[in-house]
Structure 1
Amino acid sequence: MFQDFGNFSELLFGYVFYYPFFMSYLWMAGALFYWLHYERKGSNPANPPKLPEYPKISLIVPCHNEGDNARDTVENLLSHDYPDFEVIAVNDGSSDNTGAILDEMAQRHPKLRVVHLAQNQGKAMALTAAAMVADSQYFICVDGDAQLHPHAALWMMSHFLNSPRVGAVTGNPRIRTRSTLLGRTQVGEFSSIIGLIKRAQRTLGRVFTVSGVAAGFRRAALHDVGYWSKDMLTEDIDISWKLQLAHWDIRFEPAATCWILMPETLRGLWKQRLRWAMGGVQAILKYGWMWKSWRKRRMWPVYIEFILSMVWGYAMLTTIILWIAGLFLPMPASLYVPTLMPGWTGVLLAATCLLQMGLSLIMDRRYDCNLLRNYFWVIWYPMAFWLIGMLTSVTALPKTLLREKGARAVWVSPDRGIK
């Protein structure tokens, strides 16, 4: 009965190997073109651009239970190197002393305004509330535990002023938490995966998502698409798709760096990556209608790539299950997986992974002077993060399908690393 499968296990194993292998070289080629064409001479953090004008901007920071970080984040924004700006901090129903800290700071800093929401209504609602009271046409939104580079606004605004079709500019997040193996490994991940993919996707014309921790927006573009969706688990993915499907452009600015805190425990990393994966599934389900419109075709490759990555997760899980089953049960030859130990394909894939990470660290070293010293730690990336990525992918789909439709996405305090 299994003869119709052909050699199913070989086909499965081939996809598990060839998909990341092919995508890795696609990302490297696209990122290298972006770096050579746009970034190599243009994005120098020590030499911010001179703008033709300096319109007022609003630096927005949504906060929920950020008592440990809110003061540092807001003070960082208040010292920003830009001629005309305001800071709007939104206390979204915090149960700690976040509101009191923000009110005390507002009394001392005339540029700071504080908006209090009585209940936890989620990041999307907090951002929308800030946008409604903002006194500018441009917003730069950062998380309540982030440290934005003082020249980030200049870099982001250069894109808005150079093209009226730019609706958003995503910054370049850099990892602050490096006290554990997970933390150090994420330093390489954010360059070799997140930064590299954004460069490659910009080369192709569309990005999967802005970085929610640091992104700039044009008010007219947000108004055009109805601002952030309150029922989406990852408001950054959703707003990226909404803007691009409405034919607004999204740019990546690597010099607009933002130093962020990330999970340094497996439990915290799992929760974060599962939320990211569920947010991607939500976007795929919500915007499936775009296949009916030829005018939306530039988003099709982004859609297809996410689907293929989910298929890879299920293919990897199936391969592992078949291998385990073969240890205890007689298996048809077409379904038998003799080993999970990497042969020459594993060595080739590992070498490709190290090449990708080495290339990305070289591209990003001008933004993080200590970056290359973390190259040793990235060899652990496939073991930890591919496994977590596979498990979150296969978990995200059923959890998203079972989630109550239209349920509000509220704050859940994340793992902020080892203090």
Structure 2
Amino acid sequence: MYEVLSALLAVSFKFAFYYPIVMSFFWIAGGLYYYLRRERHARGRTDPPPLESTPFVSILIPCHNEGDNVRETIASAMAQRYPAFEVIAINDGSGDDTGEKLNLLAAQYPSLRVVHLDRNLGKANAMRMGALAARSEYLVCIDGDALLDEYATHWMVWHLCSGARVGAVTGNPRIRNRSTLLGRLQVGEFASIIGMIKRAQRVYGRIFTVSGVICAFRRTALHQIGYWSDSMVTEDIDISWRLQMNHWDIRYEPNAMCFILMPETVRGLWKQRLRWAQGGVEVLLRHTRDLVSWRRRRMWAVLGEYLLSLAWAYMMAFIILLWALGLVFELPEQLRVPTLLPSWHGVILAMICLLQFAASIVIDRRYETGVGRNYYWMIWYPMVFWLLSFTTTVAAVPKALAKRRGTRAVWVSPDRGLR
């Protein structure tokens, strides 16, 4: 028995050590390949490719208690360098002055329409109402606290017009608030982790999720799959999987930039990442059975990558559990974990992590000046965010399993950080 557990512990240590290294090299290789093939000689952000026609576009902005941010958000949406668009703001049962401010803005901007919903029914429902009210086949969706870059709509519409099977385009969110260590770490995270992963996933053809804060959709594709699901805690992951399972393509466009607010407290960050992790598990539970089909084989890489991340989180939890038990009980030598402090393993992991951040700076310097200033702080990323990642994943699985099927996911106002 002890021999089996000892062998399991050895495998756990090797997997916990090698998994982040292998995935980092995979993301670096995929990200650099994408950059060299599609970005290095591409047009700059302010010089988007020409469109044969400029179809009418609807920009959807679901809002819940966004009174502090909605003026900036609407102003950035109205400043799009695109000739034909409307903006639809959906006030989803806000308890603050969001509705009053939107009405005043509607009087200021003729192309702004406001839809008022009398109670909080969740972001997915607000997006669906906005899509039904829209007059366009192409929908650009941003959050109520996001500042849309002036060329973002053009870049995303260019993708949607480039192929009949392009169902969605995910943009490039950037962090606005960076006054604290957590804020600076997230600047590097969105560049070197999230952006790099999306590039690598595009190389093998499928993306785990669009960025819900900035994305564009073809309404025909949404109509085919039944729009957003209001029972999923992360509607962006769910709709990404359903679109791709129905053979719609999702593109990534780093020039479609959007500046967002993120949590800068441990409590706010924990709640946000727990919701993300729970959303991933919910999608896995709902759709894995449907993916076991040869016709959907292109989603297998995304599924496998996510399953490995779940396994890594629980391997880490298993190792920490053995270490904690060893502090209280006398365990056999084969099962003893002497310390959790990083030794040479930690040095190697930190070096690989910094290599990934360096590669991301090479790629991302064209989209945002000065991003390298946050490089110094990224040495703390493995300690802070890897710990957060595996703990939220471990907590999310039972939370998702305990959730009653069909429960509506409603708005919960997040931590917007320090401004």
TM-score higher than 0.5 here?
yes
Letter in 1 for 2:401: L
Indicate the residue corresponding to 1:150 in structure 2.
150
Indicate the residue corresponding to 1:309 in structure 2.
309
Matching of residues 22-101 of structure 1 within 5 Å: 22-101=22-101
SS in 1 for 2:375: helix
**Count of residues in correspondence between the two structures:** 419
Indicate the residue corresponding to 2:378 in structure 1.
378
TM-score, normalised to structure 1, is 0.98
Q: Deviations over 1:357-398 (max 9, x none)?
A: 111122111111020111001111011111111110000000
Indicate the residue corresponding to 2:139 in structure 1.
139
Indicate the residue corresponding to 1:267 in structure 2.
267
Structure 1 residue 292 displacement after superposition: 3.1
Range that drifts further, 2-11 or 236-245: 2-11
Residues 292, 12 of structure 1: alpha-carbon distance in 2 compared, 3 angstrom cutoff? closer
Structure 1 residue 40 displacement after superposition: 1.1
Structure 1 residue 5 displacement after superposition: 2.8
Range that drifts further, 61-70 or 72-81: 72-81
The answer to whether the 8 Å contact 1:8/1:335 transfers is no
State how far apart, in whole Å, the 2-side matches of 1:404 and 1:160 are.
36
Residues 218, 291 of structure 1: alpha-carbon distance in 2 compared, 3 angstrom cutoff? closer
Indicate the residue corresponding to 1:387 in structure 2.
387
Residues 47, 291 of structure 1: alpha-carbon distance in 2 compared, 3 angstrom cutoff? closer
The answer to whether the 8 Å contact 2:169/2:215 transfers is yes
State how far apart, in whole Å, the 2-side matches of 1:9 and 1:335 are.
7
Matching of residues 118-267 of structure 1 within 5 Å: 118-267=118-267
Letter in 1 for 2:37: H
The answer to whether the 8 Å contact 2:31/2:199 transfers is yes
Indicate the residue corresponding to 1:117 in structure 2.
117
State how far apart, in whole Å, the 1-side matches of 2:406 and 2:43 are.
41
The answer to whether the 8 Å contact 2:291/2:299 transfers is no
Letter in 1 for 2:235: E
State how far apart, in whole Å, the 2-side matches of 1:254 and 1:195 are.
8
SS in 2 for 1:222: helix
Range that drifts further, 177-186 or 46-55: 46-55
Structure 1 residue 2 displacement after superposition: 1.3
Letter in 2 for 1:368: E
The answer to whether the 8 Å contact 1:66/1:98 transfers is yes
TM-score, normalised to structure 2, is 0.98
Residues 322, 300 of structure 1: alpha-carbon distance in 2 compared, 3 angstrom cutoff? same
The answer to whether the 8 Å contact 1:69/1:145 transfers is yes
State how far apart, in whole Å, the 1-side matches of 2:101 and 2:418 are.
23
Residues 196, 63 of structure 1: alpha-carbon distance in 2 compared, 3 angstrom cutoff? same
Structure 1 residue 157 displacement after superposition: 1.1
Structure 1 residue 184 displacement after superposition: 0.3
After superposition, the CA RMSD in angstroms is 1.0
Structure 1: stretches of 5+ with no match in the other structure: none
Q: Deviations over 1:229-276 (max 9, x none)?
A: 010100100110010000000000000010000000000000000000
Q: Which 4+ runs in 1 deviate beyond 3 A?
A: none
Letter in 2 for 1:175: I
The answer to whether the 8 Å contact 1:170/1:252 transfers is yes
Q: Deviations over 1:292-351 (max 9, x none)?
A: 311011111111111111111111111112112223321122211122222222211110
The answer to whether the 8 Å contact 2:58/2:139 transfers is yes
SS in 2 for 1:89: strand
Structure 2: stretches of 5+ with no match in the other structure: none
Residues 299, 43 of structure 1: alpha-carbon distance in 2 compared, 3 angstrom cutoff? farther
Q: Deviations over 1:41-76 (max 9, x none)?
A: 115113122111100000110000000001110111
State how far apart, in whole Å, the 1-side matches of 2:3 and 2:69 are.
60
